[in-house]
Amino acid sequence: MEKSNTTIPAELIRQELHLLLHCEEIKNSQILSRFLQYVVNETLSGHEDAIKEYTIGVKALGRPPDFNPQLDAVVRIHAGRLRRTLLQYYQGPGKDDAMIISIPKGAYIPSFQIQGDIITAPNLGTTNLISHLAEIGYTYNHDRYKPKLAVLPFHNLSPEHSMDYFVTGIGEQLSIDLARFQNIAIISYYSTHRFDAAASELKEMRKALKVEYVLIGSVRFVNEMVRLNIQLLSTDNGEIMWTESYARHMTPDNIFDIQEGIINQVLNIIADDNGILTKMHKSYAPAATLVENAGVQEAIYQYYHYTSHYNPDLLLPTLEGLKNAIVIEPNNALACAMLSDVYKDIYLSNVTEDRVLLELTIDLAQKSVELDEYCQLSQMAMAWALLLSGKKEKAIETIEHCIALNPKASRIVATMGLAYICLGCYAKGLSCLLDATHLNPTVPVFCKVGYALYYFHHKNFEDSLKWLQRLHPLEYPFFRLLRQAIYGKMHNGKNKKVDEDVLNLKDHALNMISRLVCDLKLRTEIGQGLQLSGLTVK
């Protein structure tokens, strides 16, 4: 049964777009990805009339403003490629998707179609569309906890306007990528075109769209250089909360690389779990924006604060806050995922193993995924639950799904990189660690742990120790054991000296290692290092 574009929930369409952008054929083609994103997002923004061959060529495919569709068939060629790719996808891996996105022949405006009245959803059984949406969490409004951000159109300050498509593309892509971060809420890019950054306009935007923060920018081209200035403003009083300038040498071949590189830096500075918006929103948000269940909001921000450094002193307060949040809102998928993650940390950091903690970790992760399978933190919690349960193949599958939800969330990508390494997938783990390091120069904590284990496995003990030392003052017992094992390997048993705080762990050392490290070879290597250092382990 086909339904019109306007009767299908926009969130369901965005979910399907997300799946398409991560199928191999489209993911590996920047042209097809930009084409599909542009026409779908324009349609969702109510700008179907703007979807023309010319605008697709200029705004999506990077053609210059003098692009002539009658002389250059590039849009028609790639539209045909996209139609064939979509058809192949829905005949294969997408045959059970809830809906279909297609590009009808003779037009470029996408069509959205529900695959019949009944949707078969993995792990949810057969249900109608409304029930399906309710079960995956879209009737539950998590946005009331999030800082709300809008990206205003960037301005080209140069007299030459041939690069206007680059300037527009910065704002469009920022909005698309920011929308994938689940700790903030993003207003549609085209909903803010009539506003400017003047104080009166900011106040009107706050009143009309409930926007609390805006991102503004300007671009200047001088010879072969491009300079981009970006500011994050509060709509309450126009205060500049963050500002940065980026200068790059630009050639025709690196235009999109420059755009991507700058956007990635901005994303992780302002939007990651521990970015500026998460850290400052609670302080800057006026009383009128505070939610009725302040304890839930407090617990969520406490979790982000804890994970910024994984300070053990913050562990118990975070635990108690999230337990209270679950009492207030038992069906809050985000709080369930966070509480699962905290129980996981306690389970791994305790000297003696407590299986009750593991069961709580698993149960809460499962509940979180059932409430909202599209929440990245839910999938991260589930990946760890599967890893700790010894279910390697399912853990790897969940890790891949988790990263695909937002590959630009550096903390989660780093954490999944560590999980890969614990499972023995060293190449995939290193790739995630490098991606996270590239995205966020302030290397996330679990990125450092991942590097330490990676280099230990590859017998580069000097680098392993350097990364472990960067964790100071983080002193979980496992890290003390790993450091002792590094010393044993570095000196090859010739300088046996065991610190007192490590000696107290000997009766539980192998158990602590096996709780986190699933790869038998890596477990053995760490155990050998402890023996070489003079620590007799059981």
The radius of gyration computed from the CA coordinates of the chain, to the nearest angstrom, equals 25
User: Domain residues of the chain, as ranges?
Assistant: 5-139, 144-267, 291-406
Measure the CA–CA gap between 379 and 337, rounded to whole angstroms: 8
Measure the CA–CA gap between 402 and 160, rounded to whole angstroms: 43
What count of other Cβ atoms lies within 10 Å of the Cβ of residue 327? 11
286 cis-preceded (ω within 30 degrees of 0): no
According to CATH, the topology of domain 291-406 is: 1.25.40
Mean pLDDT by 10-residue block, N- to C-terminus, for the chain (538 residues)?
49 80 84 90 84 91 89 90 89 79 87 57 34 40 66 86 83 85 77 66 78 89 89 87 90 84 87 78 42 68 85 88 87 92 94 94 95 91 96 96 91 95 96 90 84 96 93 78 93 82 89 94 94 86
**What are 454-499's pLDDT values in tens digits?**
999 999 999 999 999 888 656 688 999 999 999 999 988 787 888 8
DSSP string of 383-442, one letter each residue: HHHHHHTT-HHHHHHHHHHHHHH-TT-HHHHHHHHHHHHHTT-HHHHHHHHHHHHHH-SS
Q: Which amino acid is at 35?
A: F
Q: Which amino acid is at 165?
A: Y
pLDDT at 482: 94
pLDDT at 298: 81
Write the CATH number of the domain with boundaries 144-267: 3.40.50.10610
Measure the CA–CA gap between 299 and 53, rounded to whole angstroms: 49
Contact by Cβ (8 Å): 324, 316? no
pLDDT at 401: 93
pLDDT at 483: 92
pLDDT at 199: 67
pLDDT at 325: 86
222 forms beta bridges with 225
Measure the CA–CA gap between 188 and 41, rounded to whole angstroms: 9
183, 188, 191, 197 alpha-carbon torsion, rounded to 10°: 50
**What are 86-130's pLDDT values in tens digits?**
988 888 888 777 788 989 888 899 988 876 433 333 333 323 443
Helices and strands (H, E) in the chain, number of each type: 24, 10
